[in-house]
């Protein structure tokens, strides 16, 4: 939470916090007078944005959502369904999020010696199938028969801003598959005449939500609000595409 506060302070005054997760995790933010907590509540982001719309100090043209892992899935789905969200930033969403059902990968993470695979539909269905509709499990180990893939979910954000954040050492999150779905989704932004509104950034490291991730998100927000140049590393990938 201290990292979040530091990053927000770089962008300006901390006026309000909307947090979807364990409320005890944001203890350093308890001094902020304007807080909305939505802990495991269906449609929490919609209710929160409804509430923000009633507050005259909130810039409703610059609502941004981000989340990591399961929270990244939540952020991506919220951005796809709620057009009031201007900037969507899913971080390392793994299978069932912004990765690719069809394209898998294996690799040796930096600093390790053993090869590790990316998460598949069969993997997430066996452990967390209750997160999804009941028919999705029918395609476990038969992903090529799916009538869709994750690029379609990403494309639902267009023409608004989408920043896809991944880590090169997080094999489980399938950074290669995420790149493939991002490139495929960009075609929809091209149709809207704004291919620059989908961005991606691959950093070194593993499965975590870092200061670096939030810095890149703030770069996109500043670019949208003030026209400031994007961070020099925006668009970086750490493998041969």
Catalytic residue chosen out of the listed positions 165, 209, 219, 231: 209
Give the lowest-confidence range in 17-26, 71-80, 135-144, 226-235.
17-26
Percent of the chain with pLDDT over 90: 60
Q: Is there a catalytic annotation at residue 69? A: yes
**33: Cβ contacts below 8 Å, ≥ 6 apart:** none
Give the predicted TM-score (pTM) of the model: 0.86
Q: What is the mean pLDDT of the chain?
A: 84
A 10 A CB-CB count for 116 gives 14
Token readout for 222 is: 């500043």
CA-CA distances (angstroms) from residue 215 to 30, 123, 165, 207, 212?
A: 23, 32, 11, 17, 5
Q: Is the pLDDT of residue 101 over 70?
A: yes
pLDDT value for 241: 60
Q: Is there a catalytic annotation at residue 219? A: no
Catalytic residue chosen out of the listed positions 69, 118, 150, 182: 69
Of the segments 48-52, 58-62, 133-137, which one has the largest average pLDDT value? 133-137
Read off the pLDDT of each residue in 111-130 and give the average, rounded to a whole number: 94
Burial of 217 (0-12, 13-18, 19+ CB in 10 A): buried
Burial of 27 (0-12, 13-18, 19+ CB in 10 A): exposed
């Amino acid at each position: 939470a201290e990292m979040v506060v530091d990053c927000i302070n770089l962008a300006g005054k901390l006026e309000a916090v909307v947090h979807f997760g364990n409320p005890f995790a944001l203890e350093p933010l308890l001094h902020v007078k304007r807080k909305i907590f939505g802990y495991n509540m269906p449609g929490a982001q919609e209710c929160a944005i409804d509430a923000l719309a009633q507050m005259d100090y909130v810039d409703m043209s610059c609502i941004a959502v981000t989340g990591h892992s399961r929270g990244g899935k939540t952020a991506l789905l919220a951005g796809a369904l709620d057009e009031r969200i201007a900037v969507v930033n899913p971080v390392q969403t793994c299978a069932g999020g912004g990765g690719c059902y069809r394209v898998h990968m294996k690799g040796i993470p930096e600093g390790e010696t053993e090869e590790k695979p990316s998460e598949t539909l069969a993997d997430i269905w066996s452990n967390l199938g209750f997160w999804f509709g009941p028919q999705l499990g029918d395609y476990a180990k038969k992903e090529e028969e799916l009538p869709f893939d994750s690029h379609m979910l990403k494309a639902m954000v267009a023409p608004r801003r989408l920043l896809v954040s991944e880590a090169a050492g997080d094999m489980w999150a399938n950074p290669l598959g995420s790149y493939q779905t991002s490139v495929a989704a960009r075609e929809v932004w091209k149709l809207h005449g704004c291919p620059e509104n989908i961005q991606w950034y691959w950093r070194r490291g593993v499965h975590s939500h870092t200061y670096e991730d939030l810095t890149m998100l703030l770069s996109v927000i500043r670019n949208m609000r003030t026209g400031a140049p994007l961070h020099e590393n925006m668009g970086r990938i750490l493998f041969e595409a």
